[in-house]
Amino acid sequence: MSDLLSIEQAISLEGDHLSLVGLDLISVPPSVGEKYGGLVKQLDLSYNNIETLEHLGQFVHLHSLVLDNNSLVTDESFPKIFGLKTLSVNNNKISDLKKFLEIVKEKFPNLTYLSMLKNPACTSEITGRDSDDYQRYRYYVLHMLRGLKFLDSREVEEEERKEAQRVGHLCLPARPDPSQYKRTSLVGSDGNGNSTDKIDADHLPIPELPQDLKQEGIGKASFGLSNYVYYGRQSEGNRFIVNEDL
């Protein structure tokens, strides 16, 4: 829904709370910021396809910003909003926890509530990972954002905060870079000792089995029972084998 008239019709404004939910927006419409930016303190942009936060800076009085279920990435350019207390970015595409928290710390220095569940960067109890991993993730976030009172769906306890200041800098979740495991290329040969063009090893076709191995029971190996008994010179030891040894 990109038509401005349709967007205006879908806007829900109650007091200082503005909702633009489920409109397939990829950014904040500048006309909306111009009209409501100076009035709104709570902005809900969840269930869109938001990739950029251009024009969000028009909302200068925001206290609460909900961006759940969008397409935000790690280095999204947030405007600086000193009064923002609540930020919810659940289920986006944020993959670098350290970088994202550095941006949040700079842009929202007075943040007290943050929820970022179901992002690649977030270790979550909900996804079935070990609870110790989630606690280490919390320590790291609380180490970076020391003013938080709530993280995800849980209040920050004083003992947890103290522990975060003690060990939080050591608790950044390790996430291997998939690119380091990518097989980039192979050098082929034309059969005469000459090199051919490089081949992307990750996209090589999987060879089929030989035709004679595709049919069940056909091949060079077999498995079954035999009635053959060996009575040669080396068979004498067999009489010492009892059923329990088999």
Domains of the chain: residue spans and CATH: 4-178 (3.80.10.10)
Which of 3-17, 35-49, 120-134 comes out lowest in average pLDDT? Answer: 120-134
Q: How far apart are CA 162 and CA 159, in angstroms?
A: 5
Q: What angle do CA 60, 29, 98 make, to 5 degrees?
A: 60
CB 104 within 8 A of CB 80: no
Report the pLDDT averaged over residues 119-144.
82
pLDDT computed for residue 15 by the predictor: 94
Does the pLDDT at position 121 exceed 80? yes
**Mean model confidence pLDDT for the chain:** 79
Convert 47-81 to b/e letters by CB count within 10 Å (16 or more is b).
Answer: bbebbebebbbbbeebebbbbbbbebebebebbeb
pLDDT computed for residue 44 by the predictor: 98
Q: How far apart are CA 65 and CA 85, in angstroms?
A: 8
CB 185 within 8 A of CB 200: yes
CB 161 within 8 A of CB 152: no
Q: Render pLDDT for 191-206 as a digit per residue (tens, 0 to 9).
A: 565 655 555 545 555 4
Closest by CA to 33, choosing from 10, 47, 48, 53, is 53
Does the pLDDT at position 8 exceed 70? yes
Does the pLDDT at position 90 exceed 50? yes
Report the pLDDT averaged over residues 99-117.
97
Q: Render pLDDT for 15-32 as a digit per residue (tens, 0 to 9).
A: 999 999 999 999 999 999
Q: Which amino acid is at 166?
A: R
Please give the DSSP secondary-structure letter assigned to residue 119. Answer: S
Q: Which amino acid is at 48?
A: N
Closest by CA to 117, choosing from 167, 154, 63, is 154
Q: Render pLDDT for 63-76 as a digit per residue (tens, 0 to 9).
A: 999 999 999 999 88
Does the pLDDT at position 39 exceed 90? yes
CB 43 within 8 A of CB 64: yes
Q: How far apart are CA 2 and CA 145, in angstroms?
A: 36
Q: How far apart are CA 56 and CA 30, in angstroms?
A: 8
E strand spans, the chain: 12-14, 17-19, 42-44, 64-66, 86-88, 113-115, 150-151, 154-155, 186-189, 195-199
Q: What angle do CA 162, 106, 166 make, to 5 degrees?
A: 15
Query: pTM for this one?
Result: 0.68
Does the pLDDT at position 180 exceed 50? no
pLDDT computed for residue 147 by the predictor: 97
Q: Which amino acid is at 224?
A: G
